[in-house]
Each structure stands twice: as C-alpha cells, then as structure tokens.
Structure 1
Amino acid sequence: MKIANGVEMLELAAKNMKGEPTSIYPILICDKETIILVDAGYPGQLEQIRKEVEKTGVKFETVNMVLITHHDIDHIGSLASIVKELPEVKVLCHEEEKAYIEGVKKPHKLAMLEANLDNLSQEMKGFYEHFKVGFEKARTKVDRTLKDGEELPYCGGITIIYTPGHTMGHSCLYFKESKTLIAGDLLMVKEGVLVKAPESINFNDELCLKSLKKLMQYDIENVVCYHGGIYSNKVNERINELIETLAQ
C-alpha cells in the first residue's frame, strides 16, 4: 500500500504470542537507486517479504539496505536470511541496538524470560526456548549505526528519531516531505485507534512516555505502526491525548 511518494507499507501474515492470526507492517522506501526495507519480520518470512516487495513493482534483488527500528524477534527474525540472500545489502540501526542485533548482548525480552525461568509455565518455557533459537539464528552484522537527529537523504529527507523505552535503542523515522512517521513499536493501531504499546512489552515505560513527548516536535499527518498499520486522523492531537492520559 502506497503511503507517500517512495513509501510503501508491506503486509505480512503472522501469529501473535497466543497463536492467533495477525499482520505486521514493514516499510519499503524507494528513492532512485536506493531501496530500503524497514524491519525484517519474524523468522521464516523471507519468501513473504520477497513477494510483498515485488507486489510494489520493485525487484527484491534491488533492496540494498535494511533499517531495523529495534531488535525484537518480529523485527529481525528474517534479517540473517535476507543478508544471506542479498550479500551486498547493508544493515542499519541505532547505535544502541547494534550489540543486540549482532548477538553481543542478550535481547531484552529474552533476558526478562530467562530471569524468571523457574517460575514460567511449561508452555512459556517452550516459548522461551523457541524464542532463544530464533534470536540465535537472526544474529547479523550491522554495517552502519545511526544517531538521534541524523538525516538520511532519501524521499525528501528522513530524520532518525531516537525513541527509547520499548527497547533501549528503539528508533522512529520521520519523512519531512510527506509528514509521515514510521513508529516501529512505540505506537500501535488497535481497532482503528492509535494507542501506546502496552507496559507489559516495554523495557522501560517511563522512557516510552518521554519518547512520545519527543514526537510532538514533528508535524505528523500519517503514522505507520508495525502492529496495526496506518493511522491518519489528527495524529499529533491523538499523541497528545495519550501523553496527557499517561501523565495523570
């Protein structure tokens, strides 16, 4: 689905932690010779990603960058497969995420489960083991790190917004020309309403609130959430409502 000039929203079929069907929404950025995939789905989704990219009229082999908003398994799951398929592709992320993506540091969610392993149900222990293997297989070398406020020269300018909280290196992308925000998991769309990611899946919920406040510096007409897709109804007003509610 075209969101703006050079910005396409992809849709991948997936299942949530309860095994229920859902969708996730990576982004494809196309600008002259530069083709950027934002986030890389769950493990085993390479072929889905390939098909979704090619639905836009772009050959999958022309993707030359993958930009990761943060290191959760549904965002890096197929990253190693993409890099193996496209050896020349460059992997980008915020500097705080590099060690997690490369496997030097233990992913936040995995560490939280491991710390409570003795108290987990058998089902959750099985989920932990599955999770652990997924992260091990997803480990990938990062070619370039990004900093807060850095501007990428594509589609009229893309600003990297460092928005820690969901993970410590989480970042959003802001397209100046189209006033579009790629929100990663800082925000979600649930039943047509823009909401904050629940506290239970955030590494630091207080930092999430600060990151939401940071978004108010930007004039946003469209926001694309990895979970829920696009939201375009008075975005800044809605974010401000979330901030006010959380600050009470």
Structure 2
Amino acid sequence: MRIGNGIEMLEISTEVMGRPGTINPTLIWDNDITILVDTGFPGQLPLIRAATNKAGVSFEKIGKIILTHHDIDHIGSLSSIVKELGNSVKVIAHKEEKAYIQGDKVPHKLAKLEENISSLPEEMKGRYKMMKEGFQKCKTNVDQVIEDGEELPYCGGIITIYTPGHTIGHICLYLKQSKTLIAGDLLFVEEGKLSMAPTAINYDNELTNKSLKRLTEYDIETVICYHGGVYRDNVNKSIKQLANQGK
C-alpha cells in the first residue's frame, strides 16, 4: 500500500499465533537510497522481494535495513536478505537490540519460555523449538547502532524515537517530510482503531506506557503498525488518549 511519496507499507501474508494474518514491513526510498524497515518471519524473503518489486522498487537496490526490535517476526528473514544482497546492505538497530540480533543474548520471549519449559503444554514446547531454531538461523551482525533522537540523513530525515517496553531496545521511526510514524509493535490497529500492544507480549508494560507518552511530542499524521496496518484518523488525539489511559 502506497502511504506517501517514497513510502510503501508492504503487506506480507503469514500466520500469527496459529491464525492467518498480515505483517507490515515498510519500504522507504528516494533517488539516493532504498531502506527496508523490519524483515518478517523466517522464510519470507521471496514474499518480501515480490512485494518490493510490486511497489515499483528494485529489491536489489535496498541499501539499509532498519530493525525496530528483535522479535522473530521482525528479524526472521534478516540473514537471508543480507546474504542475498551481500555487502551492499547495512543493518541498523538501537544499541540495546544489537546483542539479541547478533545472537549474543537470548531473546526476551525465548528466555521466558525457557524458564517455564517443563510446565509448558506440548503445543508451546513445539513453538519454543521453532522459535529457537529461527533465532539461531537469523542472527546477523549489526553494522550501525542508533540512539534516541538521532536523525538518519535519508529520505528527508528519519528520527529515531527510543520506545522501550515491548523489548528493551524497541524504536519507532518518525519520517519528517510526511509526518509518518513507523510504530513497530508499540501500537496496533484493531478493528479500525489505534491500540496499544497486548500487555502479555511486552517485556515491561510500565516502560511501554512511558514510551507511548514520548509519541505525544511529535506531530503525526499517519501511523504504520506492523500488526494492523495504516491509521490516519486524528492520530495525535488518538495517541494522547492512549497515553492517558496508561497512566
């Protein structure tokens, strides 16, 4: 879906918690560079390639990959994409996410499952095994770390907003020219309404609430949510209402 000039929300069919669904990596580009934000589940390179080319952008021209955080549905196809593109692509993430993406630390959700492995039902044990194998296969070196408030000099300016809570190093990205927020998993769209991520999937809900308040500092016209897609209905007011609910 075309969001604006040089912004395409990719719509990748997948299975989320055993149900058919869609995830939404984002493609950003101008005459100088093409950037992919998040890389889907393991094995989705062909789908991402096809969606990129369908948007009228050559997959081979992707020069940067920015990761909002290290969950398996965001970094799952990272290693295969990097291998496909070779040294021409650079991976960017927040400094707190680097060790998880590179495989130096055990991802949050995997560690939580490991703590309770003996008491898990068989279905969850199977899911744990799949996640563990997926993380082992997708670990990739991070070429550049970014911090809160840092502006990347691409596509009119991309501001990093450090929004921990869903994971320890979760970030959102604010595209200055179009006033578009790439929200990662801080925000969802459910039944046409903007909502917070379910508390059960957050690393720290108190941090998540504080991070949501950070978004009220920005003038946002469009939100791209990884789960749920695009939201444009009086965004600033909706975010403020959610932030007040989290007090």
TM-score by length of 2: 0.98
Contact 1:5/1:155, CA 8 A, preserved across alignment: no
Q: Which residue of 2 aligns with 1:118?
A: 118
Q: State the SS of the aligned residue for 1:86.
A: helix
Instruction: Return the letter of the residue paired with 2:11.
Output: E
Report how many aligned residue pairs link the two structures. 246
Q: Which residue of 2 aligns with 1:65?
A: 64
Taking the aligned partners of 2:152 and 2:186, their CA distance within structure 1 comes to 21
**How far is 1:242 from its partner?**
1.0
Runs of 4+ in 1 over 6 A off after TM superposition: none
Contact 1:45/1:78, CA 8 A, preserved across alignment: yes
**How far is 1:176 from its partner?**
1.3
1:26 aligns with 2:25: yes
**How far is 1:70 from its partner?**
0.2
**How far is 1:194 from its partner?**
0.4
Residue by residue over 1:81-102, the C-alpha shift from the partner in whole angstroms, topping out at 9 and shown as x without a partner, is 0011011210100111000000
**How far is 1:179 from its partner?**
0.8
Instruction: Return the letter of the residue paired with 1:75.
Output: H
Residue by residue over 1:100-155, the C-alpha shift from the partner in whole angstroms, topping out at 9 and shown as x without a partner, is 00000000000011111111001101110011000000100111111111111122
The 5 Å alignment of 1:144-155 reads 144-155=144-155
Instruction: Return the letter of the residue paired with 1:51.
Output: A
**How far is 1:23 from its partner?**
0.1
Residue by residue over 1:10-55, the C-alpha shift from the partner in whole angstroms, topping out at 9 and shown as x without a partner, is 01001011x1100000000102221100000000000000000001
Q: State the SS of the aligned residue for 1:173.
A: strand
Taking the aligned partners of 1:236 and 1:167, their CA distance within structure 2 comes to 24
Instruction: Return the letter of the residue paired with 1:78.
Output: S
The 5 Å alignment of 1:18-167 reads 19-88=18-87, 89-167=89-167
Q: State the SS of the aligned residue for 1:75.
A: helix
- More deviation, 36-45/151-160: 151-160
Q: Percent identity?
A: 59
Taking the aligned partners of 1:54 and 1:205, their CA distance within structure 2 comes to 38
Q: State the SS of the aligned residue for 2:217.
A: coil
Q: State the SS of the aligned residue for 2:183.
A: strand
Instruction: Return the letter of the residue paired with 1:44.
Output: G
Q: Mind listing any 5+ residue stretches in structure 1 that lack a counterpart? A: none
The 5 Å alignment of 1:203-222 reads 203-222=203-222
Taking the aligned partners of 1:177 and 1:61, their CA distance within structure 2 comes to 25
Taking the aligned partners of 1:4 and 1:209, their CA distance within structure 2 comes to 29
Q: Mind listing any 5+ residue stretches in structure 2 that lack a counterpart? A: none
